[in-house]
Structures are given as C-alpha cells and as structure tokens.
Amino acid sequence: MLKRIGNRYAVVAAVICGAALLILTMRAAALRAEAMGDGTTVGNAVVGQARGLLQATIASTGTLEPRAYFPVVFRDWFQEYTVQEHFDPPVVGWPEGSVRNTITVHQEFNYGPLVDEGDGSTVYQVGIRDNNDHVFLTGPVQTLEDFEYEVWMRRLSDQPDQQYEYGILISPTPIDPAHPSAEGVYSFQIQLGYKGAWWVKKWNVYSLTDHPAETIAHGETPAVTEAYKQWNQFRIRRVDDTLYFDATHGSTPPAPGAWVTLASHTDHSMPDQFYTGFFGAHAGITMWRYYQYDNVYVHAHP
C-alpha cells in the first residue's frame, strides 16, 4: 500500500486587525482553495502574495501592518477521487474493435458502440461469438488503494443460453483486447441458466491460448437476475488487502442497504493499482451474444 503520511494540512488562521480584516480573510480562503486544487507545495507563493496584499492595504488605509499567517498545503498523500462514465456518447475513451481467430478466421468477439438488437439504440456493448471464448477487456479507468468499482450490466440477446457468463474484472495491468494477456486478474460474474449462479475467480495467467483460473468463491443468489434486458449491478470493493464482491439488480440504483456481499478474499500480494473492465465467457453454439456495459463508477480513497 502507498504510505499514508501524517497530517494533511498545516493551517494557521490569519490574525488580522482593523480595516484589513475582511479583505485578508477572503484572500486567504481563495489562496487555500487554489493550493488544494492544484496539489502543489505553495507555502512561498502564498506568503509572497499575502505580503503584497498587506503592503497594498497599508498604502491605502495607513493602518499598521497586521501579522497574518496564511495556509500552507503539502500534498504528500494520495488524494481521493471519483470517476464516472455513462457512455454518452456510447464510447468515450473506451476501446472498440474486434478480435479474430487467425486459424479459423472466425470473429471471436467485438466491443464498442454497437446497435441494440431490439430497439435500435446505440450503446456500449461486448459481443461474443465462438465457443469457449473468454473476453478480458479493460478501459482507461484505474483504481488506486482502497476503492469501490461499480457497473451496470445486462444481456441484450434474448436467448437464455446456459453456461454463458458476463461480469466485471480488475487487472493490475491494462489488457489489449486485440492481444489479450494479463496476470493477477480478478473476475466477478454470473453464469446464465442456473438461477442466480455467480463466480469469483483469480486468473494468474491469461492469454487467448492459456487461461487457467482459480475459483475463489461461487454460489447462487436472488441478488442477480438472468432476465433479458434487466440490469445487474456488480461491485468490487477493496479495504486494505481484502476484496469484497457485491451484487444487486433492478431498473434503478439500489436503495441503501440493497447490496448483497457474496464473497470476500484477502490477498496480501495485491498491487496498489488496478484497471477496471469487462469479463465474458461463451459456451455452446457459434452465435453472437451481446452484453451492455454501462454506468461505470469508481471511487478511490486512502
């Protein structure tokens, strides 16, 4: 884990007198906001600006120079952040393309803004075609240290095939879908045709020709749905060296407490950073099956 270093702010409130009180207080607040916004060490700059402001005040008012201490920010810790992506337009910085099997020249899967089979709308989808394909796909969103990664997903093909899987993943490195390769990937997915079957797996090594996985946990739950075009909401949370895997489903965001924690896993070798993405697995006949990936939310914090 990255070091979390001591006190985040060193602030001594301004002590101001006379006519300069209101001006200096407002200026201090503005400088402090600027310091926090750009994340730099701004002690000297703040003091220099404060001195100029005081001199101007004295020149215009004739009052004695008050003694003022302005805020100083030293950013040597990880700053909390939130990233959201609703794919409107359908792709904003996320990969699109297709992968072909060079031996049989079959198109194995494609990904990006595609037209919905039913209503004709364009959404961000992943389509899987060939038997026994596994799709690992990451976008530009990264997590750092403790985080919550949430996403909405649903199947857009109305055939209720068994053993097809879709869900989410986190990967220590970005995965190029055209030449997929990764280590230490965690996936969290449901398996269609088994009334709420879910799986958590760790993929120690993954490529198009080699994808063994360790099953971390699995079970069945009413917290996920197999229904056509009904949303599942998946979430992976990290607290220190433990991952938690949560799920719920519905047409609107879950009410507080609606999430169900299905599994947890502790791994002291986890890196600080993960990339977020999509997981899918295809079984059965060679035919396209499509899944929508939407409403990505990542909140990373120390």
pLDDT tens-digit series, residues 117-138: 778 889 999 988 877 778 888 9
pLDDT bucket at 286, cuts 50 / 70 / 90: confident
CA 79 to chain centre: 15
Place of tokens 């709308």: 121
Instruction: Show which of 18, 51, 73 is a domain's final residue.
Output: 73
Q: What is the pLDDT of residues 12-65, one digit of tens each?
A: 333 333 444 444 445 444 444 444 444 444 444 444 444 454 455 545 555 544
Structural domain harbouring 107: 81-301
- Tell which wins on pLDDT, 67 or 32: 67
Contacts (Cβ under 8 Å, ≥6 apart) of 145: 1, 2, 78, 238, 272, 300, 301, 302
**pLDDT for residue 208:** 61
Contacts (Cβ under 8 Å, ≥6 apart) of 35: 42, 46, 71, 72, 73
Q: Are 97 and 193 within one domain?
A: yes
pLDDT bucket at 172, cuts 50 / 70 / 90: very high
CATH number, domain containing residue 199: 2.60.120.200
Q: Are 48 and 109 within one domain?
A: no
Instruction: Show which of 73, 105, 121 is a domain's final residue.
Output: 73
**pLDDT for residue 55:** 53
pLDDT of 160 > 70? The answer is: no
Contacts (Cβ under 8 Å, ≥6 apart) of 32: 11, 70, 71, 73
Q: What is the mean pLDDT of residues 139-150?
A: 94
Tokens of 138: 């990451």
Share of the chain above pLDDT 90, in %: 35
Q: What is the pLDDT of residues 259-283, one digit of tens each?
A: 999 999 999 999 999 999 999 887 7
Total number of residues shown for the chain: 302
Pairwise CA distance, residues 33 & 284, whole Å: 58
Q: Are 34 and 106 within one domain?
A: no
3 located within any domain: no
Name beta bridge partners: 62. Answer: none
**pLDDT for residue 37:** 42
Pairwise CA distance, residues 56 & 265, whole Å: 61
Q: Are 47 and 128 within one domain?
A: no
Give residue 285's identity as a one-letter amino acid code. I
Do the Cβ atoms of 301 and 80 come closer than 8 Å?
A: yes
Q: Are 48 and 158 within one domain?
A: no
pLDDT of 196 > 80? The answer is: yes
Please give the mean pLDDT across all residues of the chain: 76
Pairwise CA distance, residues 144 & 301, whole Å: 7
